[in-house]
Amino acid sequence: MKTKRCNQLKKKITIKKTDALIIVDAQNDFLSGGSLPVPKGEEIILFLNYYLDLFKKAQGKVFATRDWHPINHLSFKEQGGIWSSHCICGTKGAEFTPKLKLPKNAIIISKATDSSKESYSGFDGTELCKKLKKSKVIKVFVAGLAIDYCVKNTVIDAINLGFKTFFLKDASQGIDLNPGDIKQSIEMMRNKGAKQVKKQYFF
Ligand code: VGL
Ligand code: ZN
């Protein structure tokens, strides 16, 4: 039986000061030319910049997470992990793509900084929740790389922490290490209560 989805948006969205945009891992290593490129990753930059502009005009809050690994992070193949080494703190690969128009007042959240622990969520071991609550944020709009890892885990944590959570599909791409991972991740986010939205839904 097909279950009816209620988290399809019917009204247009207006960004408020208490809304936050959370850009996940828009870093050089996750884009073409980087050490762990996400397929079609570049396609999201245009959309991310569109949302950044929207949030700037509405004086919404902007957060940007970054994968910020030590050189011997357990997720790297040399350490027995599944990923080629990427986003090593302080390197060019770990920098945000220069194409991203990140405002000066964006709050940067470094994650997965402990060599012996993987953290896909921007909330895991960081001050992201504290900072959002301090800014009186109610709604979060999550976008970036990669849908099936850091975006998914950030979205699920945001929901569990009580934020009204939106997933910006057009400003996100995934890896699909196992084909179907992206689709499954989106299903999971929506089943947990995330609202999937795109550019056309905004004023
Ligand atoms: C990520 C794989 C490894 C992500 C981070 O940002 O989604 N994926 N580290
Ligand atoms: Zn990583």
pLDDT value for 1: 53
CA of 118 from ligand 2 middle (Å) equals 7
pLDDT tens digits for range 52-89: 999 999 999 999 999 999 999 999 999 999 999 999 99
Protein residue with its CA nearest to atom 8 in ligand 1: 149
CATH number for the domain harbouring residue 85:
3.40.50.850
74, part of any domain? yes
- pLDDT of 2 over the 60 cut: no
- pLDDT of 25 over the 80 cut: yes
CB 199 within 8 A of CB 49: no
13, part of any domain? no
Mean pLDDT of the chain: 96
- pTM for this one? 0.96
Which ligand gives the minimal distance to the CA of 175? 1
Which residues have C-beta within 8 Å of that of residue 22, sequence separation ≥ 6? 63, 64, 65, 122, 128, 140, 141, 142, 143, 144, 154, 158
**What is the average pLDDT across 166-171?**
98
pLDDT value for 7: 63
CA nearest neighbour of 65 among 163, 131, 159 = 131
173, part of any domain? yes
State which residues form the domain around 127: 21-201
CA of 188 from ligand 2 middle (Å) equals 21
123, part of any domain? yes
53, part of any domain? yes
Q: Provide the domain count of the chain.
A: 1
CA nearest neighbour of 53 among 109, 108, 100, 122 = 100
